[in-house]
Amino acid sequence: MGLITHEAVPGVVTTSLRRLLNWSRKSSLWYMLFGIACCAIEMMATGASRYDFDRFGMIFRASPRQSDLMIVPGTVNEKMADRVKVLYDQMAEPRWVLAMGGCAINGGPYHGEYNIVDGVDKVIPVDVYVPGCPPRPEALMHGVLLLQDKIMREGIEIPAPARR
Protein backbone atom coordinates (compact mmCIF):
# COMPACT_ATOMS: atom_id res chain seq x y z
CA MET A 1 0.00 0.00 0.00
CA GLY A 2 2.97 2.26 -0.39
CA LEU A 3 3.62 3.11 3.19
CA ILE A 4 7.02 4.64 2.59
CA THR A 5 6.56 7.10 -0.22
CA HIS A 6 8.84 10.09 0.44
CA GLU A 7 12.27 8.62 1.18
CA ALA A 8 14.06 11.91 0.59
CA VAL A 9 12.12 14.01 3.12
CA PRO A 10 13.38 14.06 6.73
CA GLY A 11 10.96 12.64 9.26
CA VAL A 12 9.29 10.46 6.71
CA VAL A 13 9.72 7.25 8.67
CA THR A 14 7.79 8.63 11.63
CA THR A 15 4.94 9.74 9.41
CA SER A 16 4.77 6.44 7.62
CA LEU A 17 4.85 4.46 10.82
CA ARG A 18 2.00 6.61 12.03
CA ARG A 19 0.08 5.76 8.94
CA LEU A 20 0.81 2.06 9.37
CA LEU A 21 -0.35 2.31 12.95
CA ASN A 22 -3.52 4.13 11.96
CA TRP A 23 -4.19 1.65 9.22
CA SER A 24 -3.84 -1.29 11.58
CA ARG A 25 -6.06 0.39 14.15
CA LYS A 26 -8.83 1.28 11.75
CA SER A 27 -8.75 -2.21 10.24
CA SER A 28 -9.39 -4.00 13.52
CA LEU A 29 -11.92 -1.89 15.38
CA TRP A 30 -13.05 -4.33 18.01
CA TYR A 31 -16.22 -3.00 19.52
CA MET A 32 -17.65 -3.66 22.91
CA LEU A 33 -20.51 -6.08 23.35
CA PHE A 34 -22.69 -3.49 24.95
CA GLY A 35 -26.25 -2.40 24.24
CA ILE A 36 -28.46 -0.20 26.34
CA ALA A 37 -31.68 0.16 24.35
CA CYS A 38 -33.44 -0.67 21.11
CA CYS A 39 -30.62 0.65 18.89
CA ALA A 40 -28.67 -2.36 20.11
CA ILE A 41 -30.98 -4.58 18.05
CA GLU A 42 -29.97 -2.68 14.95
CA MET A 43 -26.33 -2.89 16.00
CA MET A 44 -26.69 -6.66 16.33
CA ALA A 45 -28.27 -6.76 12.88
CA THR A 46 -25.27 -4.87 11.56
CA GLY A 47 -22.93 -7.31 13.22
CA ALA A 48 -24.76 -10.35 11.89
CA SER A 49 -24.22 -12.00 8.55
CA ARG A 50 -26.52 -9.91 6.37
CA TYR A 51 -24.57 -6.68 6.92
CA ASP A 52 -21.51 -8.26 8.45
CA PHE A 53 -19.26 -6.01 10.50
CA ASP A 54 -16.53 -8.63 10.15
CA ARG A 55 -15.80 -7.18 6.72
CA PHE A 56 -14.32 -4.17 8.49
CA GLY A 57 -12.28 -6.34 10.81
CA MET A 58 -14.81 -5.53 13.51
CA ILE A 59 -15.66 -8.20 15.99
CA PHE A 60 -17.32 -7.64 19.31
CA ARG A 61 -15.44 -8.18 22.52
CA ALA A 62 -17.24 -8.95 25.75
CA SER A 63 -14.69 -7.00 27.77
CA PRO A 64 -13.96 -3.28 27.74
CA ARG A 65 -10.28 -4.09 28.29
CA GLN A 66 -10.06 -5.61 24.82
CA SER A 67 -12.29 -3.12 23.04
CA ASP A 68 -11.23 -0.23 20.83
CA LEU A 69 -14.65 1.13 20.02
CA MET A 70 -17.66 1.72 22.19
CA ILE A 71 -20.87 1.98 20.22
CA VAL A 72 -23.45 3.58 22.51
CA PRO A 73 -26.68 2.18 21.12
CA GLY A 74 -29.52 3.70 23.04
CA THR A 75 -30.92 5.94 25.71
CA VAL A 76 -28.51 6.86 28.47
CA ASN A 77 -30.41 7.37 31.69
CA GLU A 78 -29.08 8.71 34.95
CA LYS A 79 -28.39 5.29 36.43
CA MET A 80 -26.76 4.02 33.24
CA ALA A 81 -24.56 7.10 32.80
CA ASP A 82 -22.32 6.03 35.67
CA ARG A 83 -21.94 2.56 34.19
CA VAL A 84 -21.16 3.93 30.73
CA LYS A 85 -18.46 6.10 32.27
CA VAL A 86 -16.99 3.15 34.16
CA LEU A 87 -16.93 1.01 31.01
CA TYR A 88 -15.32 3.82 29.05
CA ASP A 89 -12.69 4.30 31.73
CA GLN A 90 -11.89 0.58 31.60
CA MET A 91 -11.11 0.72 27.89
CA ALA A 92 -7.46 1.05 26.97
CA GLU A 93 -6.21 3.85 24.75
CA PRO A 94 -6.59 4.33 21.89
CA ARG A 95 -10.35 4.19 22.15
CA TRP A 96 -13.21 5.66 20.23
CA VAL A 97 -16.89 6.25 20.89
CA LEU A 98 -19.72 6.18 18.40
CA ALA A 99 -23.06 7.61 19.52
CA MET A 100 -25.74 5.61 17.77
CA GLY A 101 -29.23 7.02 17.40
CA GLY A 102 -31.07 10.09 18.58
CA CYS A 103 -31.03 9.15 22.27
CA ALA A 104 -27.27 8.78 22.46
CA ILE A 105 -26.80 12.01 20.51
CA ASN A 106 -28.99 14.35 22.56
CA GLY A 107 -31.71 12.37 24.29
CA GLY A 108 -33.76 12.05 21.12
CA PRO A 109 -37.46 11.53 21.85
CA TYR A 110 -36.71 11.64 25.58
CA HIS A 111 -34.83 14.94 25.48
CA GLY A 112 -35.24 16.89 28.71
CA GLU A 113 -37.02 14.17 30.66
CA TYR A 114 -36.38 13.65 34.32
CA ASN A 115 -34.15 10.60 34.18
CA ILE A 116 -32.47 11.07 30.82
CA VAL A 117 -28.94 12.24 30.15
CA ASP A 118 -29.29 14.43 27.07
CA GLY A 119 -26.65 12.77 24.99
CA VAL A 120 -23.84 10.43 25.90
CA ASP A 121 -21.38 13.23 25.07
CA LYS A 122 -22.32 14.76 28.43
CA VAL A 123 -20.56 11.80 30.03
CA ILE A 124 -17.83 10.62 27.64
CA PRO A 125 -16.28 12.20 24.54
CA VAL A 126 -17.87 11.08 21.28
CA ASP A 127 -16.06 10.73 17.95
CA VAL A 128 -18.89 9.96 15.54
CA TYR A 129 -22.61 10.69 15.79
CA VAL A 130 -24.96 8.49 13.76
CA PRO A 131 -28.49 9.91 13.71
CA GLY A 132 -31.59 7.80 13.28
CA CYS A 133 -34.26 6.21 15.43
CA PRO A 134 -32.79 3.69 15.15
CA PRO A 135 -30.21 4.16 12.39
CA ARG A 136 -30.30 1.50 9.71
CA PRO A 137 -27.30 -0.81 9.49
CA GLU A 138 -26.16 1.12 6.42
CA ALA A 139 -26.09 4.30 8.51
CA LEU A 140 -24.11 2.61 11.24
CA MET A 141 -21.65 1.25 8.72
CA HIS A 142 -21.33 4.73 7.25
CA GLY A 143 -20.54 6.02 10.71
CA VAL A 144 -17.87 3.36 11.09
CA LEU A 145 -16.36 4.34 7.74
CA LEU A 146 -16.26 7.96 8.92
CA LEU A 147 -14.53 6.82 12.07
CA GLN A 148 -12.01 4.89 9.99
CA ASP A 149 -11.27 8.05 8.04
CA LYS A 150 -10.83 9.91 11.30
CA ILE A 151 -8.46 7.27 12.61
CA MET A 152 -6.44 7.35 9.39
CA ARG A 153 -6.01 11.09 9.82
CA GLU A 154 -4.91 10.88 13.43
CA GLY A 155 -1.51 12.47 13.93
CA ILE A 156 -0.97 13.16 10.24
CA GLU A 157 -2.26 15.61 7.69
CA ILE A 158 -4.32 13.82 5.10
CA PRO A 159 -6.99 15.69 3.18
CA ALA A 160 -10.47 14.35 3.93
CA PRO A 161 -11.61 12.05 1.13
CA ALA A 162 -13.89 13.79 -1.30
CA ARG A 163 -16.35 10.93 -1.55
CA ARG A 164 -17.45 11.05 2.09
Query: Is 122 among the residues that bind another protein (CB under 8 A)?
Result: yes
Smallest separation, CB 127 to another protein (Å): 8
How big is the site for another protein, counted in residues (CB under 8 A)? 12
Could you tell me which stretch among 36-44, 53-61, 118-126, 130-138 binds another protein (CB under 8 A)? 118-126
What one-letter code names the amino acid at 127?
D
Between CA 145 and CA 46 the distance in angstroms is 13
Which of 102, 119, 134, 143 contacts another protein by CB under 8 A?
119
Between CA 130 and CA 149 the distance in angstroms is 15
Closer to another protein by CB, 64 or 137: give it.
64
Query: Is 149 among the residues that bind another protein (CB under 8 A)?
Result: no
Closer to another protein by CB, 42 or 121: give it.
121
Task: Assess contact for 32 and 64: CB atoms under 8 A.
Answer: yes
Three state DSSP letters for 25-44: HHCCCCEECCCCCCHHHHHH
User: Coil, strand or helix: which one is 51?
Assistant: coil
Task: Assess contact for 72 and 97: CB atoms under 8 A.
Answer: yes
Smallest separation, CB 33 to another protein (Å): 23
Report the site for another protein in 44-83 (rule: CB under 8 A). 78-79
User: Coil, strand or helix: which one is 4?
Assistant: coil
Letters for 124-143 (x = contact with another protein by CB under 8 A, - = none) are xx------------------
